[in-house]
Amino acid sequence: MTHNDKPVNGQDNPSFLDLLNQLPPVPPAPENGTGRLAWLRAAWKESWEEGGFLYQRWEEVFQVRHSSWHESPTGSRRPYCSAGSASSS
């Protein structure tokens, strides 16, 4: 599709759509999990498996809901303390 833009300083101004049509086709995404972020997906899945880092943190958060203040892990109490001090000032 051609465009109607007037030339500026004797130079033709191509339409944005004309420029997009000149791009090479996008290669298909790999289906076997060997893409750019395959290592990140693998690490994410591994950390959510039982015993993984994120799984353990989630278990701590879940336990805080059902335990008293003194039984909860220190790392889980920090957000409550900082939120309380921020709202009181």
Over the stretch 27-78, which tens digit does the pLDDT of each residue have? 777 677 677 788 888 999 999 999 999 999 888 888 777 666 666 666 666 6
Please state, in angstroms and rounded to a whole number, the distance separating the CA atoms of residues 89 and 87: 6
Give the pLDDT band of residue 84 (cuts 50, 70, 90). low
- Write down the pTM of the prediction: 0.40
How far apart CA 62 and CA 76 sit, in angstroms, is 10
What is the 8-class DSSP label of residue 47? H
Residue 59, token pair as written in the block: 């278990």
